[in-house]
Chain A
Amino acid sequence: MRSALSALELLEPRSLSHALALLRDAAPVVPLAGGTDVYVLLNAGTPSGTRYLNLQRLDGLRGIARRNGVISIGALTTFAEIRRSALLARRLPSLVAAAREVGAVQVQNRATIGGNVANGSPAGDSLPVLAASDAVVVLRSADGVRRVPFDGFYTGYRQTVMRPDELIVAFEVPPVPGRQWFRKVGTRAAQTISKVVLAAVRAPEPRVAFGSVAPTVVRARRTESVLASGGTLNEAAAALMTEIAPIDDLRSTAEYRRRVAANLLRQFWTETA
């Protein structure tokens, strides 16, 4: 542990309104959900702050429910809970598939979907699924609620429209028409960060969202319209190349990511034909 623990402060709100008040009044405060990203930074000695807001007691932020056809997933829902959800298995199987591949079981027991999205890594495995399913991010502050379409949530590498006094409270997912498809490509079979990840939907209006190939998750609209208008797979892959901007990093190369992104697109399209 490279961070000084004695310098840290943990705020323990008992209700959502208490938490939101603390966020407003005690800034800067770092929300703490499952801690699986927060603790990695603490261990490395690069913490995001010294004052943390423990969300664990905010039970209102947990759970998966369906209201008026829309599925609401609380921000504190863990990937283990997502894996076990019968509702999601029926309605949003690609989120279940993604949850199954986050880290491994121990991490899934702690890691929350809200943390995955708020952390904002372009390799976050739930992000392409939320992007492809036209999810809405429900944000709350002491001032009230706002709903942001997932596609507009990120503004740049690890940048979001969320304000420091806001929390993600839930994600709302409208019905997804068509067949869902998900595949993660990491450096090994488990405990791995994505090198390329694709969540897609086969429908008259196909949806394609990639992770790990640009500073943010990419909803590949041009690729989608080529596919929707009956273009060939080669044309779709060519369109995709204009929409992604992968880089060389510790885990892979830009060239690999480009090729595999195109291959995944082909695999998705062939398998869902």
Chain B
Amino acid sequence: MPTVGRSLPRRDGRDKVTGAAKYIDDLALPGMLHGRTIRSSIPCGRIRSVSLLSDPAGFTVVDYRNIPGRNVVALIGDDQPCLAEHVVRHVAEPILLLAHADRERLLAADVDVQYEPSEPLFDPLRSPKVFKSIAMRKGDVDAGFAEADEIVEGEYRVGHQEHAYIEPNGVIAVPADGGVTVYGSLQCPYYVQKALRAVLDLPADRVRVVQAETGGGFGGKEEYPSIVAAHACLLALESGRPVKLVYDRAEDMLATTKRHPGVIRTRTGVTRDGRLTAIDVDVVLDGGAYMTLSPVVLSRGVIHATGPYRCDNVRVRGRVVMTNTPPNGAFRGFGAPQTQFASEVHMERVAERLGMDPVRLREINALRPGDTTATGQVLGRDVSALAVLRDAVERTDFKRRRRELRGTGRGLGLALFFHGAGFTGAGEMKLASKASLELTERGARVLASSADIGQGSRTVHAQIVAEALGLPFDAIEIARADTAVVPDSGPTVASRTSMIVGGLLRRCADDMKQALGGLTPKEYLKRRGPLVVTRQYEPPTSAAFDEETYTGDAYGTYAWACDVAEVELDPVTYEIRPVRITAVQEVGKALNPVLAAGQIEGGTAQGVGYALLEEVVMRDGRMANAQLTNYAVPTTMDTPRIDVVIHERPYRHGPYGAKGLGELPLDGVAPAIANAVRHLGIDVRAIPMTPERVMEAETGERKKVGSKK
């Protein structure tokens, strides 16, 4: 019986449902202290003094002077201090760390920080400080515009988004013979290790990072846990005791990363018969106070900015800039939801201008096998833009339903979108990730640093290996993501865990099967001794990506999707209620169909929040609604019926044809909903489309859909 393609139950399911699973805050070690972070209360200024006013007895106190290594959060730019020295650049920037055995004493501790505030910068469009800029070019845009019959321009705005994982950030750091061991809620054990080595000035073998059961991540536990872990380690090394540092919800929302807000300006040239002749996009992302992963978020945003369309003349310019707000970072989709919101709402406006059916316009321009993308990547056979579009249109009876709904208070819209799986450009090459498989009596044990953060990677990896070895699913164990045990398989991000790491495991299993030569694992171990097989990433194609010119193969492959959203406008309250979303998504191969559908449903629900509800209210650089009461993520009652339709067009280099699918579902929800709102005659070009914003568009001076300009 095949293992791949079956909806086997999740490995972690039972323990989570019964409450047996232990998260960081469930763990306690003998002699453990609790940690607390004292943070900046102003967005920008100099620190004049820091003083602990409470009785210091029993307290461990750490500031930047206690850092044995470099005072940086090692990532890309190394511009972010682990603890502020003389200057703070955002609200909630860490300044001082405290630990105490008694949580109540710790919380009661009074720390006085005196500042010399300076003028903060909040508007990204006026920021002089650019973390990264990118210019991508294909063909000749001027010639393309000259050829156009119509030129359509627009500006689109997207807001912050909070990850709202169910478990806030937390770690426990344990000092251990000349080094540290960290247990944490995290996505990327080796990122944390790298950051700790820099801060603590320790060699890799003295820094052990172990992923604890993790209650969600969505990118929010990609880079941020490096900071939590570094702080806990500093306290642990200073006190010589284990230290638990767990954020509560308010602190987590106030201090940790969010999705980058952005302003995207698009100009498109099109012929009367609907052929795109030029696309010119300008992307500005707000990076917040430090660089974090902003350059790579921008990169993915830029590459996805033209949408899944063929066009010979493209220019995309992007920059991510500094503002005095908490740093923004990785979030499911990583730049692509931002720019594809703009590209798909813009496509709708192009269709309106031409008076053309929006489906037809997309059909004419959708990428096909053999086409070249904006980076000049020649697409292989696994291109499904047209297939998902046509299926979605057919299933929803799109054209007829659009006519039927006219004047009823309901609207129907769609978005066609794609998502490159794995690291961008040369990223996977540079990562050179590894995974191993160790023979056991019953079967094999997976050794990979992939973190199961609820997406089910333990289950899917076991399925891939079981299938390749021809062994039962239960014969495959998964080792904990522990840097002392598993090799560096790269971070658990970028929709790469099934496709890239799963691919490495598939190769390991093939090698192992060959080595076994027909013996059972038990026989092999008895006769030949232990067996561990390791594979390292090899690029599937030769067309390397050139980061200077932004040309070449940006991704190994792409997943494709079309969302159709039906919405209802409440004329009394201006609320947009999504009634039904049809999500047709081509993912190569659904290794575990229930888990794949779960990713699509969850990503779609998160997209509904991004589109309609989730608004980070920033006041003077501080998130003013840092509570789940006032930052509204969708409840099940806000989530419409979601019809998930999975297409499979295998990717040659993916395990059993699988492509990455974790992020794809989020990319298209907001534009599909926005286009459904346009169908109602309401011109909204910014998300979230809160009732307040819809009211302005409906009742204000602003133009209505269909009017020129």
* B636 nearest CB neighbor, chain A only: A190
Evaluate contact between A263 and B572: CB separation under 8 angstroms. yes
Question: Cβ of A234 < 8 Å from any Cβ of B?
Answer: no
List chain B residues, Cβ under 8 A from A7.
104
CA distance A104 to B628 in the complex (A): 14
CA distance A6 to B108 in the complex (A): 12
For window 605-628 of B, CB contacts with A under 8 Å fall at 613, 617, 624-625
- Known interface pairs A251-B630, A256-B691; A44-B572 also in contact (CB < 8 Å): no
* A252 nearest CB neighbor, chain B only: B692
Evaluate contact between A187 and B573: CB separation under 8 angstroms. no
List chain B residues, Cβ under 8 A from A104.
635
* A183 nearest CB neighbor, chain B only: B572
| Minimum distance in angstroms from A198 CB to a CB of chain B | 10
List chain A residues, Cβ under 8 A from B635.
104, 188-191
Evaluate contact between B699 and A44: CB separation under 8 angstroms. no
Evaluate contact between B624 and A250: CB separation under 8 angstroms. yes
List chain B residues, Cβ under 8 A from A193.
629-630
Evaluate contact between B104 and A4: CB separation under 8 angstroms. yes
A192 touches which of B104, B572, B632 (Cβ 8 Å): B632
List chain A residues, Cβ under 8 A from B625.
250
Interface centre among B250, B625, B695 (most CB of A within 10 A): B695
Evaluate contact between B574 and A260: CB separation under 8 angstroms. yes
List chain A residues, Cβ under 8 A from B632.
187-188, 192
CA distance A74 to B575 in the complex (A): 36
CA distance A191 to B632 in the complex (A): 9
List chain A residues, Cβ under 8 A from B695.
255-256, 259-260
Evaluate contact between A189 and B638: CB separation under 8 angstroms. yes
CA distance A272 to B618 in the complex (A): 41
B630 touches which of A250, A256, A263, A267 (Cβ 8 Å): A250
| Minimum distance in angstroms from A156 CB to a CB of chain B | 23
List chain A residues, Cβ under 8 A from B638.
188-190
CA distance A44 to B634 in the complex (A): 23
Question: Cβ of A90 < 8 Å from any Cβ of B?
Answer: no
CA distance A104 to B637 in the complex (A): 10
List chain B residues, Cβ under 8 A from A188.
613, 632, 634-635, 637-638
CA distance A109 to B119 in the complex (A): 49
Question: Cβ of B484 < 8 Å from any Cβ of A?
Answer: no
| Minimum distance in angstroms from A1 CB to a CB of chain B | 8
* A265 nearest CB neighbor, chain B only: B572
Evaluate contact between B692 and A187: CB separation under 8 angstroms. no
| Contact flags B553-584 to A (C-beta < 8 A → 1, else 0) | 00000000000000000011111000000000
Question: Cβ of A253 < 8 Å from any Cβ of B?
Answer: yes
Question: Cβ of A2 < 8 Å from any Cβ of B?
Answer: yes
- Known interface pairs A2-B107, A4-B104, A191-B635; A185-B250 also in contact (CB < 8 Å): no
- Known interface pairs A187-B613, A188-B613, A260-B573; A253-B104 also in contact (CB < 8 Å): no
Question: Cβ of A45 < 8 Å from any Cβ of B?
Answer: yes
List chain B residues, Cβ under 8 A from A185.
573, 575
A263 touches which of B107, B573, B629, B692 (Cβ 8 Å): B573
| Minimum distance in angstroms from A150 CB to a CB of chain B | 26
* A44 nearest CB neighbor, chain B only: B250
Evaluate contact between A4 and B613: CB separation under 8 angstroms. no
List chain A residues, Cβ under 8 A from B691.
252, 256, 260
Question: Cβ of A76 < 8 Å from any Cβ of B?
Answer: no
| Minimum distance in angstroms from B638 CB to a CB of chain A | 5
Question: Cβ of B538 < 8 Å from any Cβ of A?
Answer: no
Evaluate contact between A256 and B692: CB separation under 8 angstroms. yes
Question: Cβ of A135 < 8 Å from any Cβ of B?
Answer: no
Evaluate contact between B630 and A4: CB separation under 8 angstroms. no
Question: Cβ of A264 < 8 Å from any Cβ of B?
Answer: yes
CA distance A191 to B575 in the complex (A): 16
For window 623-668 of B, CB contacts with A under 8 Å fall at 624-625, 629-630, 632, 634-635, 637-638
Question: Cβ of B248 < 8 Å from any Cβ of A?
Answer: yes
CA distance A260 to B575 in the complex (A): 11
CA distance A93 to B387 in the complex (A): 51
Question: Cβ of A5 < 8 Å from any Cβ of B?
Answer: yes
B107 touches which of A45, A192, A250, A259 (Cβ 8 Å): A45
CA distance A9 to B617 in the complex (A): 37
| Contact flags A238-259 to B (C-beta < 8 A → 1, else 0) | 0000000000001111011001
CA distance A188 to B690 in the complex (A): 10
| Minimum distance in angstroms from B658 CB to a CB of chain A | 35
CA distance A255 to B104 in the complex (A): 43
List chain A residues, Cβ under 8 A from B572.
260, 263-264, 266-267
* A191 nearest CB neighbor, chain B only: B635
List chain B residues, Cβ under 8 A from A251.
630
CA distance A12 to B123 in the complex (A): 55
| Minimum distance in angstroms from A188 CB to a CB of chain B | 5
CA distance A104 to B636 in the complex (A): 11
List chain B residues, Cβ under 8 A from A253.
692
CA distance A187 to B614 in the complex (A): 10
For window 86-125 of B, CB contacts with A under 8 Å fall at 104, 107-108
List chain A residues, Cβ under 8 A from B699.
259
List chain A residues, Cβ under 8 A from B575.
185
List chain A residues, Cβ under 8 A from B571.
263
Interface centre among A43, A104, A187 (most CB of B within 10 A): A187
Evaluate contact between B573 and A190: CB separation under 8 angstroms. no
Evaluate contact between B108 and A4: CB separation under 8 angstroms. yes
A6 touches which of B104, B613, B634 (Cβ 8 Å): B104
* A256 nearest CB neighbor, chain B only: B692
CA distance A53 to B637 in the complex (A): 36
List chain A residues, Cβ under 8 A from B637.
188-190
| Minimum distance in angstroms from A116 CB to a CB of chain B | 16
| Minimum distance in angstroms from A257 CB to a CB of chain B | 10
For window 158-217 of A, CB contacts with B under 8 Å fall at 185, 187-193
| Minimum distance in angstroms from B168 CB to a CB of chain A | 13
| Minimum distance in angstroms from B348 CB to a CB of chain A | 26
* B625 nearest CB neighbor, chain A only: A250
List chain A residues, Cβ under 8 A from B613.
187-188
CA distance A191 to B633 in the complex (A): 10
* B692 nearest CB neighbor, chain A only: A256
List chain A residues, Cβ under 8 A from B573.
185, 260, 263
CA distance A232 to B467 in the complex (A): 74
List chain B residues, Cβ under 8 A from A255.
692, 695
For window 678-693 of B, CB contacts with A under 8 Å fall at 691-692
List chain A residues, Cβ under 8 A from B629.
191, 193
CA distance A237 to B696 in the complex (A): 19
List chain B residues, Cβ under 8 A from A192.
632
CA distance A256 to B700 in the complex (A): 12
For window 264-289 of B, CB contacts with A under 8 Å fall at none
CA distance A7 to B695 in the complex (A): 48
Interface centre among A104, A188, A255, A263 (most CB of B within 10 A): A188
List chain B residues, Cβ under 8 A from A250.
617, 624-625, 630
| Minimum distance in angstroms from B139 CB to a CB of chain A | 45
For window 572-601 of B, CB contacts with A under 8 Å fall at 572-575
List chain B residues, Cβ under 8 A from A44.
250
For window 14-33 of A, CB contacts with B under 8 Å fall at none
| Contact flags A99-124 to B (C-beta < 8 A → 1, else 0) | 00000100000000000000000000
Interface centre among B250, B613, B629, B699 (most CB of A within 10 A): B629
* A187 nearest CB neighbor, chain B only: B632
CA distance A6 to B102 in the complex (A): 11
| Minimum distance in angstroms from A237 CB to a CB of chain B | 13
| Minimum distance in angstroms from B113 CB to a CB of chain A | 18
Query: 7 nearest interchain CB pairs?
Result: A189-B637, A4-B104, A263-B572, A187-B632, A188-B632, A250-B625, A190-B637
Question: Given contacts A4-B107, A4-B108, A187-B630, could you give 5 more A-B pairs where the C-beta distance is less than 8 Å?
Answer: A192-B632, A256-B695, A259-B699, A260-B573, A267-B572
A–B pairs, 11, beta carbons within 8 Å: A1-B248, A2-B248, A104-B635, A188-B638, A189-B638, A190-B635, A251-B630, A252-B692, A256-B695, A260-B574, A266-B572
Which residues of B come within 8 Å of A, CB atoms?
104, 107-108, 248, 250, 571-575, 613, 617, 624-625, 629-630, 632, 634-635, 637-638, 691-692, 695, 699
